[in-house]
Chains A and B, each alone.
Chain A
Amino acid sequence: MNIAGHLSYWLTIFLTIAGLYIVIARGNLIKKLVGLAIFQTSVYLLYIAPGKLIGGTAPIVAEQFKIYSNPLPHVLILTAIVVGVATLALGLALVVRIREAYGSIEEDEILEQDETHSPDITNKQA
């Protein structure tokens, strides 16, 4: 194994664990969602990096190019990006509702409120 060949993987893994750390170590819900988005984008890198061929070009067929980078990860990651933003939108909608029901978006305060009394989670916005 050579260092230069695997350095891109290790940097990607650093981004992944940084995102994972933000999700599990911070209590603010919006920060958790940002950490989750970082985690997802680092996984995109992990998929696309092996598909690149040095000396190749983007996978659009043209006369003067002979070597193309692999288009298959591009397709998968395109789908993954759009699905990621869909889940992000749903997560943020949930955060908005949680904020209205509990009054805060800190995980500790929410858990504390759950233990002391059950909150009013009906639709307050008429």
Chain B
Amino acid sequence: MTLLMMMAVVTVAIAGRRNLFAVVILFGIYSFLMATVLVALDAVDVAMTEAAVGAGISMVLFLSALHLGRNEEMKPLHKPFLPLVVAVATGAALAYGTLWLPAFSDPEAPIHQHVAQRYIAEGARETGVPNIVTAVLASYRGYDTLGEVTVVFTAGIGVIALLRRVRRRKQGGQA
């Protein structure tokens, strides 16, 4: 798929560029390409979330974090030979592992048996909601969504705890 090739090109560019602002913008492009690939794979809910979250909020946060620093460039290079070997070795091991996976879009794959068929067949009828993803997310797997909302909440209070300004009472400050 050409979209995946474009994403690969963008990723290589991110690895190579040293200007941090360019890296962040390239990451935004990568997120948009990822959202388009997800639409091509029929994952419309996920594509909307990835576009909103990846290309929206992530970019805003990256740019805010960049803005708070003094410089926007400078990433000095060493000779990254060992990490390249490690990354390629990991990739080779992963590619070797995928040889036994079912081919792309195989209807007999195990992922399509068992629970997924029940969700597709019964989901709209039992919950009254045509969007099966929302039905599974909010009703069949409601606990997972509760956990996810808690994670978002924890991240929010974590950021508050990290970036809070403490009002100093006395001149010496507090540790």
| Whether chain A touches chain B in the assembled complex (some CB pair under 8 Å) | yes
A11 touches B104 (CB 8 A): no
A89 touches B159 (CB 8 A): yes
A70 touches B112 (CB 8 A): yes
Q: Looking at the complex, which one of B46, B91, B123 makes contact with A78 (CB distance below 8 Å)?
A: B46
Residue from B53, B65, B88 with most neighbouring chain A CB atoms (10 Å): B65
Q: How far is the CB of B38 from chain A (nearest CB, A)?
A: 6
Complex: how many Å from CA A24 to CA B44? 33
Complex: how many Å from CA A54 to CA B104? 9
Q: Flag whether A111 is at the interface (Cβ < 8 A).
A: no
The bracket for how many chain B residues form the interface is 35 or more
In B30-82, the 8 Å CB interface with A consists of 30-31, 34, 37-38, 41-46, 49-50, 53-54, 57-58, 61-62, 64-66, 68-69, 74-76, 78, 80
A17 touches B162 (CB 8 A): no
Q: How far is the CB of B139 from chain A (nearest CB, A)?
A: 11
Q: Looking at the complex, which one of B15, B24, B68, B101 makes contact with A18 (CB distance below 8 Å)?
A: B15
A30 touches B62 (CB 8 A): yes
B120 touches A25 (CB 8 A): no
A-B contact list, 28 entries, CB within 8 Å: A1-B103, A6-B98, A9-B98, A15-B7, A16-B94, A17-B87, A18-B12, A21-B84, A24-B83, A31-B14, A34-B24, A34-B27, A37-B27, A38-B11, A49-B104, A50-B104, A50-B111, A52-B104, A72-B115, A73-B111, A79-B144, A79-B145, A82-B152, A88-B58, A92-B64, A93-B158, A106-B75, A126-B173
